[in-house]
């Protein structure tokens, strides 16, 4: 039988050596064995070995001494340390010596085979990397040809490419860029970038990139530009030489005019549909109210029940339409225009007062805890009302009868933190990253009865981020959730 890989198991306990062999041989590995580190080195000197599984502490020579020898003599052979006395300190020490992984006894069969497989895959990848490096070195002699190929590729790209030197003079551009510039082109070598674009933002970005220190991390700057009637997205970064010296800049420009038009069409469509639906729905809701109030004649109990259900559904549709309009405004940058210094405590008091009857109807205690004086925040009052009304309402809906919802305010360094905590059903950890997605709702048997659009938290996150703030969530299933809203404070 031919084996693709040879493994060396080193352990002073015979049962461990043979046990590892019984686990690994069925996987298609040839297994050699040694009782201590010195014997293992002798085996490696006479037999090619792909990976070593070595006990940490053994008579004569342990894993640390083996690692010192193999790192010099067999640097491409991964060593997996196995031990029954594993500590974090031991693991760190082994990793510093060059060990691939650290496995503690007793280990599961699938764990051992998986670690071994990954070690061999790493070895294969490193071998491929070395081969690629040798290939790259061989290709250096063909640099002139490669430059020609790169120029050909750049000229065939659909996106515009602009390369400058340190003086922001054009050294390379492609036909796609000339098409984007339109009447402004063509560009010539040593032509200044500032003469190519009507929008000076790109020049300022390139100047800022060139002014960065050599020790600062590399940065890829994305921005939108206006060039005539076209909208462009520009991605700019620095070009470094062999000694990491800055040679110039490279910018890739993509025409996003069509995407902008489609986005505007989407917003216009949302506005049109929302307005066209809101008016008749409001009229229908008013007519239902007239009928339910008995102004159109007496109703039976069943008729009243059906009409109330219909009115609730209409109200849900109206809330969905309002949420869609709010999100469309925020995404288009036309919302939250009036941000002024405001007392957030008053907004929280009004929200708590408005929602207390709802909490009592659900059998939930709503508590508000604020210091006597809190810093002001620069915000849109309507936006803040939307944020905390949504968060408190959600906390009430997802808390069982007898639960508690608390709203507290804390002054942090430069920020005001508002916490909305409930004792509800909680959220699974895997669902937390998605709760702010549009139309996403947490899947839980106890929350199916809660009516909602799945837009509330998405709207909350958009408003908070539009105020240069952040929202965070801590939750534990069965114990409740805590939403923390951080907003920049004024004068702190």
> Quick check: 21 and 9 in contact, CB under 8 A?
yes
Looking at the DSSP bridge assignments, the partners of residue 412 are 415
Taking the alpha carbons at both ends of the chain, their separation in whole angstroms is: 75
Q: What is the mean pLDDT of residues 411-426?
A: 86
pLDDT in tens, 324-378: 666 666 666 555 556 788 888 888 989 888 888 888 888 888 888 888 888 888 8
Q: For the chain, state the CA radius of gyration.
A: 33
Q: What pLDDT sits at residue 249?
A: 85
Architecture of domain 5-139: 3-Layer(aba) Sandwich (3.40)
Q: What pLDDT sits at residue 184?
A: 52
Report the mean per-residue pLDDT for the chain: 80
CATH of domain 340-488: 3.30.565.10
> Quick check: 492 and 414 in contact, CB under 8 A?
yes
pLDDT in tens, 4-59: 788 999 888 888 888 888 888 888 888 999 988 899 899 998 888 889 998 888 88
Residue whose pair of structure tokens reads 């008729």 in the numeric block: 303
DSSP state of 99: -
DSSP count for the chain of H helices, then E strands: 13, 17
Distances, alpha carbon 112 to alpha carbons 43, 76, 98, in Å: 22, 20, 19
pLDDT in tens, 453-484: 667 788 888 888 888 888 889 888 888 889 99
pLDDT in tens, 282-316: 777 777 777 877 777 787 888 888 888 887 777 77
pLDDT top residue among 415 and 200 = 415
Sequence-ordered alpha helix ranges (H) in 101-225? 109-139, 143-156, 175-181, 201-210
Q: What pLDDT sits at residue 5?
A: 86
pTM of the complete model: 0.44
pLDDT tier at 62 (50, 70, 90 boundaries)? confident
> Quick check: 482 and 420 in contact, CB under 8 A?
yes
Q: What pLDDT sits at residue 420?
A: 92
> Quick check: 150 and 250 in contact, CB under 8 A?
no
Tokens of 83: 């031990």
Q: What pLDDT sits at residue 314?
A: 78
Provide the percentage of residues in the chain whose pLDDT is more than 70: 84
pLDDT at 226 over 60: yes
Q: What is the mean pLDDT of residues 225-241?
A: 81
> b/e for 116-126, b at 16 or more Cβ within 10 A?
beebbeebeee
Q: How far apart are CA 320 and CA 118, in angstroms?
A: 50
Q: What pLDDT sits at residue 187?
A: 54
> Quick check: 272 and 253 in contact, CB under 8 A?
no
pLDDT at 189 over 80: no
In CATH terms, is domain 157-255 a member of 3.30.450.20? yes
Q: What pLDDT sits at residue 424?
A: 84
Closest CA to 153 of 172, 140, 136: 172
Q: What pLDDT sits at residue 1?
A: 44
pLDDT top residue among 258 and 438 = 258
């Amino acid at each position: 039988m031919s084996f693709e890989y040879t493994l060396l198991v080193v352990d002073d306990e015979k049962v461990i050596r043979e046990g590892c062999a019984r686990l690994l041989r069925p996987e298609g590995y040839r297994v050699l064995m040694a009782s201590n580190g010195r014997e293992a080195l002798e085996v490696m000197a006479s037999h090619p070995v792909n990976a070593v599984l070595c006990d940490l502490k053994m008579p004569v020579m342990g894993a640390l001494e083996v690692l010192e020898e193999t790192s010099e003599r067999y640097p491409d052979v991964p060593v997996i340390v196995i031990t029954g006395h594993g500590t974090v300190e031991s693991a760190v020490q082994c990793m510093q010596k060059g060990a691939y992984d650290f496995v503690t006894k007793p280990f599961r069969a699938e764990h051992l085979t998986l670690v071994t497989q990954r070690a061999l895959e790493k070895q294969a990848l490193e071998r491929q990397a070395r081969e690629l490096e040798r290939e790259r070195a061989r290709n250096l002699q063909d640099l002139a040809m490669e430059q020609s190929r790169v120029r050909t590729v750049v000229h065939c790209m659909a996106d515009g490419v602009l390369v400058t030197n340190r003086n922001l003079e054009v050294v390379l551009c492609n036909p796609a860029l000339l098409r984007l510039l339109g009447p402004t082109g063509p560009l010539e070598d040593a032509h200044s970038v500032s003469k190519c674009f009507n929008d000076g933002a790109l020049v300022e970005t390139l100047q800022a990139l060139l002014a960065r220190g050599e020790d600062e991390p590399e940065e890829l700057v994305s921005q939108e530009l206006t060039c005539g009637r076209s909208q462009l997205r520009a991605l700019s970064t620095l070009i470094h030489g062999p000694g990491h010296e800055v040679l110039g800049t490279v910018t890739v420009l993509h025409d996003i005019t069509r995407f902008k038009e489609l986005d505007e069409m989407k917003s216009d469509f949302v506005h049109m549909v929302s307005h066209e639906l809101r008016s008749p729905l409001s009229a229908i809701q008013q007519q239902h109210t007239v009928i339910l109030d008995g102004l159109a004649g007496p109703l039976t109990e069943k008729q009243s029940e059906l009409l109330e259900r219909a009115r609730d559904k209409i109200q849900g549709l109206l809330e969905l339409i309002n949420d869609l309009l709010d999100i469309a405004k925020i995404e288009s940058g036309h919302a939250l225009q009036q941000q002024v210094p405001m007392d957030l405590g008053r907004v929280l008091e009004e929200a708590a007062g408005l929602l207390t009857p709802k909490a009592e109807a659900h059998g939930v205690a709503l508590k508000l805890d604020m210091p006597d004086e809190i810093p002001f925040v620069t915000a849109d009052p309507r936006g803040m009302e939307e944020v905390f009304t949504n968060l408190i309402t959600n906390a009430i809906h997802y808390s069982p009868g007898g639960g508690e919802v608390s709203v507290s305010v804390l002054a942090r360094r430069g920020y005001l933190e508002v916490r909305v905590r409930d004792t509800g059903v909680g959220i699974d950890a895997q669902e937390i990253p998605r709760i702010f997605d549009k139309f996403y709702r947490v899947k839980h048997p106890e929350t199916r009865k809660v009516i909602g659009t799945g837009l509330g938290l998405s709207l909350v996150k958009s408003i908070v981020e539009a105020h240069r703030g952040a929202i965070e969530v801590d939750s534990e299933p069965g114990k409740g959730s805590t939403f923390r809203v951080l907003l920049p404070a004024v004068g702190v």
